[in-house]
Homo-oligomer: A and B are copies of this chain.
Amino acid sequence: MAKIAVVGAGMMGTALCVPLADRGHDVRLIGTPLDAASIAELQATGRHSRLGVELPGGISFHPVAELDVATADVDAFVLGVSSAGVSWAAQALSPSLGRRCSPVLMLSKGLELGPEGPSVLTEAFRRGLSSAAARGCQPVAVCGPCIAGELCRRVPTVVVLTGHDLALARRFAAWIETAYYRVRVHADVVGIQVCAALKNAYAMGVALGAGLHERAHGQGGSVAMHNYEAAVFAQAIVEMQKLVTRLGGDAASVCGLAGTGDLTVTCNGGRTGRFGALLGRGHSAREAALLMPGVTLECLEVLAVLDRFMKSARPGELGRRDVP
């Protein structure tokens, strides 16, 4: 049994508390400055209303003000912040990680555009740490197909952990794995995380099909715009391989859980799918975002990074390549 601090009470951070609690760990869920309402609800009722479940016992809930107190003696951190929250988390955890180099598992998915091109969030997090904290910190990332609402309901799920310290990744795997939450470990730190980020952008493209179908007053069922969606899906896989290779990862990772698996699950619903469908119905990106107030659209954040990166690429370097 370990003492584990989960920082960030969004959907995924909160959902991961379920396997951690089921494994008997001492779990402390600590909100970010944006999670005050969720933490208050969890303290009062044990429920997370966006997930729609009551959490099991063995989890304590803390507002951000209690971050230092609640994490003083923990064995590990789990970061459940959004990609935009990574730099906040690096700053907030630097004092603690500077004193004692606790292992960090990151649930965040995205890309950050640094001076040398897009970088994965384990790197972005390390860059944000104080030098004392960064010295011994080699974060592990968890990627692969995992809808938070299913994980917290104990739906069978398989994810992949990656990090430069594979022994640490295996240690996390041993901590978090349950019968319903299976964990693989993979060495392709860049490729796995780039897949996890890109899938949001490409799932948006696949979801255009559902919106085009609605726009044409089509009905649900097995005859819709699935041929179109499938062609975009295959094109996405081929483009993801190209981008992963360009960013220093292994194209083979795109075939696995973090690529084809996560793209599939992201196409099956959720925020990105709704946003893509709104575009397919004819809304502009701005209109579609206004129709989804309060929702973090990670697809747009990834596309913004890719857009700036593509504009800086050499001519032809990332030229069009049709899917075979």
Q: Is the CB of A255 within 8 A of B254?
A: yes
Q: Which residues of the other chain, B, contact A52 by a CB distance below 8 angstroms?
A: 223
Q: Does A38 contact B (CB under 8 A)?
A: no
Q: Is the CB of B261 within 8 A of A150?
A: no
Instruction: State how many residues of chain A have any CB contact under 8 Å with chain B.
Output: 54
Q: Which residues of the other chain, B, contact A160 by a CB distance below 8 angstroms?
A: 324
Q: Is the CB of A324 within 8 A of B257?
A: yes
Q: Chain B's nearest CB lies how many Å from the CB of A321?
A: 11
Q: Is the CB of A264 within 8 A of B230?
A: yes
Given A227-B157, A255-B238, A323-B184, A233:B264 Cβ within 8 A: yes
Q: Mark A241-273, 1 if CB is under 8 A from B, else 0.
A: 100000000001111110111101101111001
Q: Chain B's nearest CB lies how many Å from the CB of A5?
A: 25
Q: Is the CB of B156 within 8 A of A231?
A: yes
Of B184, B188, B261, B268, which one neighbours A222 at CB under 8 angstroms? B268
Q: Does A147 contact B (CB under 8 A)?
A: yes
Q: Chain B's nearest CB lies how many Å from the CB of A195?
A: 11
Q: Is the CB of A228 within 8 A of B264?
A: no
* Complex interface residues of chain A between 200 and 242 (CB less than 8 A to chain B): 221-231, 233-234, 237-238, 241
Question: Which residue on chain B has the smallest CB distance to residue A188?
Answer: B324
* Complex interface residues of chain A between 281 and 312 (CB less than 8 A to chain B): none
Q: Chain B's nearest CB lies how many Å from the CB of A220?
A: 10
Q: Is the CB of A155 within 8 A of B227?
A: yes
Q: Is the CB of B231 within 8 A of A145?
A: yes
How many monomers of this protein are in the complex? 2
Q: Which residues of the other chain, B, contact A252 by a CB distance below 8 angstroms?
A: 324
Q: Does A90 contact B (CB under 8 A)?
A: no
Q: Is the CB of A145 within 8 A of B234?
A: yes
Q: Which residues of the other chain, B, contact A155 by a CB distance below 8 angstroms?
A: 224-228
Q: Is the CB of A257 within 8 A of B323?
A: yes
Given A146-B227, A228-B157, A324-B186, A233:B261 Cβ within 8 A: yes
Q: Does A322 contact B (CB under 8 A)?
A: yes
Q: Does A158 contact B (CB under 8 A)?
A: yes
Q: Does A151 contact B (CB under 8 A)?
A: yes
Q: Does A149 contact B (CB under 8 A)?
A: yes
Question: Which residue on chain B has the smallest CB distance to residue A226?
Answer: B268
Q: Does A153 contact B (CB under 8 A)?
A: yes
Question: Which residue on chain B has the smallest CB distance to residue A230?
Answer: B145
Best-surrounded residue of A221, A237, A264 (most CB of chain B within 10 A): A264
21 contacts between A and B (CB under 8 A): A144-B231, A145-B234, A147-B227, A150-B224, A150-B225, A155-B227, A155-B228, A156-B227, A156-B228, A157-B231, A158-B231, A224-B268, A229-B264, A229-B265, A230-B265, A233-B261, A237-B255, A237-B256, A237-B260, A256-B324, A264-B267
Give 8 closest A-B pairs by Cβ, nearest first: A222-B269, A145-B230, A234-B261, A230-B265, A158-B231, A149-B223, A157-B227, A256-B324
4 A-B pairs besides A230-B264, A234-B261 with CB distance below 8 A are A149-B222, A158-B234, A184-B324, A234-B257
